[in-house]
Structure 1
Amino acid sequence: MLFGAIEAGGTKFVCAVGDETLTIKERISIPTTTPEKTMAKVFQFFDQYQLKSIGIGSFGPIDVNEASDTYGNITTTPKVAWQHYPFLTAVKERYRVPVAWTTDVNAAAYGELHAGAGRGHRSCVYITVGTGIGGGVVVDGNIMHGFGHPELGHIIVRRHEQDTYTGTCPFHGDCLEGLAAGPAIEARFGVKAQELDAAHEAWDIEAYYLAQAVMNYTLVLSPEKIIFGGGVMKQQQLYPLMRTHFEKLMNNYVQTPDFDNYVVPCELKDDAGITGCLLLAMDEISKKMEHLHF
């Protein structure tokens, strides 16, 4: 039995075909250009296979509200060519199989909970810190959606006392993404984050903002794990700095798990999203079978 997975990112689409053991049979990477060009290559890849279902994790914002007229669409993305693109409909019409639909970070959260750093737990928050900051939430084993999907990178944080940078977010300026994503580090210090020494002051500022995010997610959601991914989080010195700031900020108000086991790097690394998409594709088959039995 084969399942399709589409991790649709702003820079590239990763497409894969895997089986029920999560063994990937084939995968390709396609540049994200226009819907016409990119999706033609996506279809060319999947047309080779007889798929039981497909899971999509897409860059956003996207419409995840099944009651909405624009459910399944990419909405107000800065990538103009993709604005209001009916992604879910296009895939369903091509293959006529069940299709799961969520954000790329929700898919990564789902992958990490079931097959990565969150194994054995029922809830997690997954945050990616790179060109932007995004996050997904899984509660009781299910992705959390409301009228829309969480936008965990755009929470408002308290400014570091030594930080005067105005922020990169075009919508909010100095939200978490505006102050702590990779471009903000580069704009503040004039070099790319990975070129900064591990002892550079940048990392204490970064850790302060990320610790506030961890505190906010902890107080609002009480997840069993908070899992970090993305290029910025490859800087291992961030974790002890985050712990120091988190403990000071929380000030023993809430008893939390030991930080080193609670706030962890992702295990699946670059495969978190594609793994989550495969798992969601399998879930679509299970839902269909339950509905038929009902």
Structure 2
Amino acid sequence: MSANMMTTPKWYEHITHVIKSYVETFSEECRDGLSYIDERKGVPFAAMGYITSDVDAIAAHAYLFEHDLKKFKQYAHVHGKLIVLRSMDNLEPVPFFFPCDMLNISRLSFLMIMSDSPQLREFLVRNIDNIANDTEEFVDRYDLNRHMMYNTLLMVEGKQLDRLKERSLQVLAYPTPGKWLQKRLDDYRFFLAFAEQDAEAMKKALEPLFIKKNACAAAKETLTYFDFFLQPQIVMYAKIASMHGFDLGIDHEIAPRDLIVYDPLPSNEYQDIFDFMKQYDLSYPYEYLQDWVDYYTFKTDKLVFGK
């Protein structure tokens, strides 16, 4: 694959070199990081963060260079669970770990959804009010990010359609949209179309994002290892539509059909590749993450959930 409309040849060469370098050093980097986690020394959460970043790049490599969709989904699942496990600070689970300084499509959310993992999907839906800090106000772009993240999770859930419609209409009717909101109006047109379960309107909402200028502007500040060859909004929104049975008929070099179609792997093919991950089950109540934090911040020497 070569550079497409999402990037320049120079940046493509640079970022693909970075991704390949992660693959070359993956085993060594993980071994070093795992020693801090398994032996509970230093700052284990920092080590989890480094490993998570490595897996992000490995997932991109699996799809872009190995053309292995199954491997991509497996690493995407691992990355998604790692995001949950390392979404803490050194004291307690971070409230609303989808932060207001990130768009709804980010390194935190993208691979969770693209993995097609039923476990991750159920985790997102069940914990929607724990992981996303909703708002109905638009003082600044941080409020917009929070609102968009919550709308995205409402789409993943796919049940509160009237609520999603009302929220989307309120934004689209905003009397004086600033630059930050104007840039995201296509997103809200898609949210509205999804709320109305209108596949043609969903496709129409995404059409402007196939224009190079719009595609690149919307992708800015989203996905380091993917936004140079994929259009993130098209891919993720079309994926969510596919989750709920809508085939938008999209197949483009910046939004390949094989990535978009919702097709979960057999449950036994989503594996935790690191032993420390196996200690936590995504089906646990969200508050059990405090036990995880206490263990890896040395407040307790025994990891017992729900104590």
TM-score scaled by length of structure 2: 0.28
Q: Which has the higher strand share?
A: 1
Q: Which has the higher helix share?
A: 2
TM-score scaled by length of structure 1: 0.29
